[in-house]
Amino acid sequence: MALPLSYSWRSLLARGVRTAFTVMVIALVVVATTLFWSLIASLKRTLVSSGSPQNLVVMRKGATNDGSSQLSLDAFQAIRFFDGIAKDEHGDPLVSPELVVQPFFHRPDGGRENVLVRGVDPVALRVHDEVRIAQGRMFKPSSSEAVVGKSVTGRYQGAALGQELHFGTGTWKVVGILESGGSSFESEVWVDARQLADDAKRSLPYSGFRIRVAPGADMDALARRIADDPRWALQATREIDYYESLSSTANTLYIIVAGLAVLAGIGAMFGATNTMYAAVQARTSEIGTLRALGFSRGAILSAFLAESVMTAAFAFAIGAVVAWALGLGISWAMGGIGFAASTFSTNVVVLRVAPQDLLMPLALAVLIGVFGGLAPAAAAASLRPVEALRKA
C-alpha cells in the first residue's frame, strides 16, 4: 500500500522555510543553466536556419567561409551554364555571384564590430528565396543604396530605414529591411556587388556564388563537376551543410555549458540531500508510526523520493518562468547579442528561451530531485519501527 502523494506534499508545506530555501537553490541553478543553454541554442538556431536545401555554395577550395574566398569572373561565367542549374522564366541561370566584405560598423555606444556586407546582384533574392524585403524596397544597382538585415537595424549608427550608413569608403542609403526567418542573413547588409568591389578595391570581384539547383537535378553530381574542374580550384557544398559547419563551432560551447550545468547540478543536489536528511531526522517517530501501522519500506522510500522530486519539479517550474522572463528582459535591455562568427563578422543572436531549450534544465532538475533524495529516502525506509518510535 503506497502513501498518498498528499502526504509528501503536505510534509513539504509543513517545513515551509526549509523547502523554500531548497526550491530557491534548485530554481537558481535551473535559471542559470537555461540562460546559458538558450544563448547557445539561439545562436545555433540562427545559423542552422540559414540556407536553402536547394542551394549550393561555391567558394575557392580551402576556404572555410565565403568571406575568405576569392573567385574570378571567368569562373562565374563558365559555371553558370552547367547542367542541373535552375533557370528563371527568361532562361537565365539562377546563379548569384556574391562578394563578402567585413567592414567596421560603429555602435551607438562607441563599440566597433565587423559586419558581413554582401555585394549581390538582384538575382540573389531569387536564389536566397527565404530572404524577403520586409520594409522598403530592394536597392537599385549602382545607386549607393543598401538593404539591412532586421537585426542590424538600430544596432549600428545610421542603420535605419531612410538613414545613411557609413562603411567602407562610402556612404550608403538604407532603402529596405530584409527578413529571413531568423537566419544569419538578418545580421547582414546587402549592397550592389560592383559598387562594393570598387569600394573595397578588390581585384577579384567575387568571393563565391550561390547556385539554385534545378528541381530533380543531381546536386552532388553538379557539386563534383564544379570541384573537379581543372581550370579553377573550387569547392561546392550544399548551402545547409555550409551553415551547419559554421554552426558546429557552437557545439563545443554546448559542451562547456553542459559541464558547468553538471557542476551546478551536483551542488544543488547536495543542498537537496541536506534538506531531505534533516526532514527524515525530524520525522523519525512519524516514520516509526507509519511503519508500525503497516506501510512497507518501499512505500516510505517512494513517499520521501516523491517529496524530493516534487521540490525539484516545483523549482523547475519557477526557474523556467524566471529564465524565460529574464531572457525577455535581457533581449529588451541589450538588444541582440553579438557573437563573433567564424565568418569574421558579427552574428546578432536574439536570446530567446524556446520550449525545447528547457529539456536539458528539466532533466537536470529531475536528476537533482531523484539523486538528491535517494540516500535520505533509503535511510528513512531502513528505519526499524521500534527504534524509530523510541527516538521520539
Partner 1 sequence: MKYLPLVIRNLGRNKLRSLLTGSAIALAIALVCILRTMPAGLDAVLANASANTRISTHNEAGIVYSMPYAYLQKVRGIPGVVAAISWNWFGGAIDVDKGVEFPNFAVDADDFSKVYADWGVPQQQFEDFRKYRDAAMVGHLTLEKHRWKVGDQVTLQSTVYPVSLSFRIVGEIPTSTPSFYFQREYLSQALAAAGVPFDTTGMIWSRVDDPERVNAVMAQIDQMFHNGDAITSSETEKSFVGNFFSGLKQLVTIIEIVAGLVTLCIVFIAANTASMSIRERVAEIAILKAMGFRKQTIFSTLLAEAGLLALVAGLAGAVTAFVLTKLLQRYAAGAGPQLGPLTAFVVSSAILVQAIFISFFIGILSGWVPALGASRRSVAQTLREVF
Closest CA to 268 of 326, 330, 302, 319: 319
Examine residue 14 and tell whether it contacts partner 1 (CB under 8 A). Answer: no
The span from the CA of 309 to the CA of 360, in Å, is: 16
Closest CA to 25 of 377, 312, 353: 312
Minimum CB distance to partner 1, residue 339 (Å): 5
- Show the DSSP H helices in the chain as ranges: 5-14, 16-48, 73-79, 124-127, 193-199, 219-228, 239-247, 249-282, 284-293, 297-334, 359-381, 385-390
Examine residue 41 and tell whether it contacts partner 1 (CB under 8 A). Answer: no
The span from the CA of 252 to the CA of 256, in Å, is: 6
The span from the CA of 305 to the CA of 379, in Å, is: 11
Q: Which is nearer to partner 1, 24 or 219 (CB)?
A: 24
Residues 6+ apart with CB under 8 A from 311: 12, 19, 22, 23, 26, 272, 275, 369
Selected from 7, 11, 35, 388, the binder of partner 1 by CB under 8 A is 35
Binding pattern for the stretch 164-183 against partner 1, x by CB under 8 A and - elsewhere: ---xxx--------------
Binding pattern for the stretch 324-363 against partner 1, x by CB under 8 A and - elsewhere: --x---x---x--xxxxxx-x-x----x------------
Minimum CB distance to partner 1, residue 5 (Å): 24
Examine residue 72 and tell whether it contacts partner 1 (CB under 8 A). Answer: no
Q: Which is nearer to partner 1, 256 or 354 (CB)?
A: 256
- Within positions 259 to 298, which residues make up the interface with partner 1, using CB under 8 A? 260, 263-264, 266-271, 273-275, 277-278
The H or E element spanning position 68 is none
Residues 6+ apart with CB under 8 A from 197: 99, 119, 205, 206
Look up residue 22 and give its amino acid: T
Taking contact as CB under 8 A, which single stretch among the options 24-32, 145-153, 361-369, 381-389 is the one that binds partner 1?
Answer: 24-32
Minimum CB distance to partner 1, residue 270 (Å): 4
Q: Which residues bind partner 1 (CB under 8 A)?
A: 17-18, 21-22, 24-25, 28-29, 31-32, 35-36, 39, 43, 61-64, 67-68, 70, 101-104, 107, 111-114, 167-169, 199-201, 203, 233, 249-250, 252-253, 255-256, 260, 263-264, 266-271, 273-275, 277-278, 326, 330, 334, 337-342, 344, 346, 351
